[in-house]
């Protein structure tokens, strides 16, 4: 069963995905296919002018531990396949992530595609409890910090 917390606005979805500790499921409601991703920033950026986040996909039954690295996203828009990934760059989950980011940048995500967060702040990872924070996917302090992308 998919989570019920849908992040509704594209700029909010992109902000959530790039926040540094996002966990979310992307679902195509027309086909029923979905993928769960973790997008995490390192504790320190080697090149702050070109920040990176690491993209992982859920690849097993343990929703906490079964994530596999598939790539890196630089400056919120330049995706690079991780050459040590156990998946090829044309695997469905990686294609879906690259497609999602392109649509979020353009601002044309189809209505049949939904992005669901899992109830935790995309920046700090704390449990969200306030309705506005739940809708946004970011707590009030983290939402006010900006992303730098």
Residues paired with 37 in a beta bridge: 24, 57
Residues of 57-67 as b/e, b for ≥16 C-beta within 10 angstroms? bbbeeeeeeeb
The whole-number average pLDDT for the span 130-144 is 88
pLDDT attached to residue 132: 87
pLDDT attached to residue 109: 92
* Predicted model pTM: 0.86
Tens of pLDDT, residues 51-63: 999 999 999 999 9
The whole-number average pLDDT for the span 1-27 is 75
CA distance 136 to 124: 14
């Amino acid at each position: 069963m998919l989570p019920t917390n849908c992040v509704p606005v594209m700029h909010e979805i992109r902000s959530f995905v790039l926040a540094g500790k996002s966990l979310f499921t992307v679902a195509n409601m027309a086909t029923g296919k979905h993928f769960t991703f973790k997008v995490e920033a390192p504790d320190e950026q080697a090149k702050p002018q070109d920040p990176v986040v690491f993209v992982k996909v859920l690849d097993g039954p343990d929703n906490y531990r079964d994530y596999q690295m598939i790539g890196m996203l630089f400056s919120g828009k330049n995706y690079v396949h991780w050459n040590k990934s156990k998946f090829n760059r044309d695997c469905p989950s990686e294609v879906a992530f690259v497609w999602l980011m392109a649509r979020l940048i353009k601002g044309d995500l189809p209505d049949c595609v939904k992005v669901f967060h899992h109830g935790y702040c995309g920046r700090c990872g704390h449990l969200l409890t306030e309705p506005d924070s739940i809708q946004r996917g970011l707590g009030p302090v983290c939402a006010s910090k900006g992303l730098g992308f």
